[in-house]
Structure 1
Amino acid sequence: MFEQADLKVHGKGMMALARMSTRGHPRIGLVVSKKNVKLAVDRNRFKRLVRESVRLRQDHLPSVDIVILAKRGAQDIDNETLTRQLHGMWKRLQRDAQAVSAPPPPNGVTRDA
């Protein structure tokens, strides 16, 4: 996944790597290291909020396998800000996934026209 990600979406204190899937629904994986988020309570809070965000938006997310990586400073983000960040990341992921999966235009035709 880390070397073969189709999409990368960055957010404050986190990054999402995604790979297109044929399963018909999104799947989530979490990497929250003790090195980047020291306290277990902060790691668990981060994971809980990410899972909840995916659960609430799963009908709008494309069929992708997503890995969320927590970066240093993720524990300093409050719940409301983290939720907003995730919402924005899901929107960008959805937009980027549509661009990747869209068929190329016929020869001589541009998408801007």
Structure 2
Amino acid sequence: MPQQGFPRQLRLLNAGDFSHVFEQADLKVHGKGMMALVRLSTRGHPRLGLVVSKKNVKRAVDRNRFKRLVRESLRLRQDHLPSVDIVVLARRGVQDIDNDTLHRQLHGMWKRLQRDAQAMIAAPTPERNT
């Protein structure tokens, strides 16, 4: 049975990890109320970082719910995702999306991310710095 935890090695932990993704994102995957920036990696597993600002999501309970659902969704799909660093940004209105819709949005985002990342790995471009 595959590992289903969410240990520290699956998280972006410091500012350098986040800035690496923000400065040179290879992919952008959009969903309703959120966006994921993706950077290919050689670590062998996906890592996740979350950016949920007070400006976009006012109440702490809504910010925490969003983060919990994103972490859970990635934890369940981690074996299907390529080796990438992912930063998920919450946008305005994400607090109005119910849990089932948010799960469907995230599932679709992970599928698109997987498909697009596999295409990038299969056909690397010379201008991309790794």
TM-score, with length taken from structure 2:
0.78
The CA distance in 1 between the partners of 2:23 and 2:94, in whole Å, is 23
1:49 aligns with 2:58: no
For 1:11-49, what per-residue CA distance to the aligned partner results, in whole angstroms no more than 9, with x for missing partners? 000000000010000000000000000000000000000
1:80 aligns with 2:100: yes
Q: How many residues align?
A: 104
The CA distance in 2 between the partners of 1:10 and 1:103, in whole Å, is 22
The CA distance in 1 between the partners of 2:118 and 2:81, in whole Å, is 10
For 1:69-93, what per-residue CA distance to the aligned partner results, in whole angstroms no more than 9, with x for missing partners? 0000010000000000000000000
Question: In structure 1, which of residues 85, 91, 101 is the aligned counterpart of residue 111 of structure 2?
Answer: 91
The CA distance in 2 between the partners of 1:61 and 1:77, in whole Å, is 24
- Partner AA of 1:53 in structure 2: S
Percent identity over the alignment is 87
TM-score, with length taken from structure 1:
0.90
Report what 1:58 is aligned to. Answer: 78
SS in structure 2 opposite 1:19? strand
- Partner AA of 1:59 in structure 2: D
Moved over 4 A (4+): none
**Cα RMSD over matched residues?**
0.9
Q: Structure 2: which 5+ residue stretches go unaligned?
A: 1-20, 125-130
CA shift for structure 1 position 100: 0.6
The CA distance in 2 between the partners of 1:32 and 1:91, in whole Å, is 22
The CA distance in 2 between the partners of 1:41 and 1:51, in whole Å, is 15
- Partner AA of 2:107 in structure 1: H
CA shift for structure 1 position 3: 2.7
The CA distance in 2 between the partners of 1:8 and 1:70, in whole Å, is 13
CA shift for structure 1 position 2: 1.6
SS in structure 2 opposite 1:8? strand
The CA distance in 1 between the partners of 2:77 and 2:36, in whole Å, is 15
SS in structure 2 opposite 1:43? helix
Bigger Cα Rg = 1
- Partner AA of 2:58 in structure 1: K
Q: Structure 1: which 5+ residue stretches go unaligned?
A: 105-113
